[in-house]
């Protein structure tokens, strides 16, 4: 079985800002976003406060679509250039500058 790739949320603050004015011009709350994407609202909260840094590819794509932005505006696929989790105390590296 092939494991689904994970995506790293680059800037939780940017996600919060984009939720204030989505692609439709309307705001979306964390609970509304979670319902649209089909994930627990606690997952959105954890992403916004930095407690959770990665999500499976389908969740990252769904969040970006619900907000109305390209996935790479908020997320970077993890791998050699973008580790899924950085060791504690080290700076995070990103492959995409936002």
* Distance, CA of 28 to CA of 22 (rounded, Å): 7
pLDDT surpassing 50 at residue 94: no
Other residues' Cβ atoms within 10 Å of the Cβ of residue 10: 21
* Distance, CA of 61 to CA of 72 (rounded, Å): 9
Confidence of residue 76 (pLDDT cuts 50, 70, 90): very high
Confidence of residue 79 (pLDDT cuts 50, 70, 90): confident
What CA dihedral angle connects 56, 59, 65 and 70, to 10 degrees? -20
Per-residue model confidence as pLDDT tens digits over 21-68: 999 999 999 999 999 999 999 999 999 999 999 999 999 999 999 999
List the alpha helices (DSSP H) in 1-98. 12-20, 30-37, 41-48, 57-67, 71-74
């Amino acid at each position: 079985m092939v494991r689904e790739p994970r995506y790293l949320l680059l800037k939780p603050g940017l996600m919060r800002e984009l939720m204030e004015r989505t692609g439709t011009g309307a705001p979306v709350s964390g609970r509304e976003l979670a319902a649209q994407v089909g994930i627990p609202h606690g997952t959105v909260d954890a992403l916004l406060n930095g407690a959770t840094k990665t999500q499976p590819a389908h969740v990252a794509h769904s969040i970006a679509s619900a907000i109305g932005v390209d996935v790479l505006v908020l997320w970077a696929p993890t791998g050699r250039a973008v580790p899924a989790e950085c060791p504690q105390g080290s700076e995070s590296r990103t492959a995409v500058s936002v």
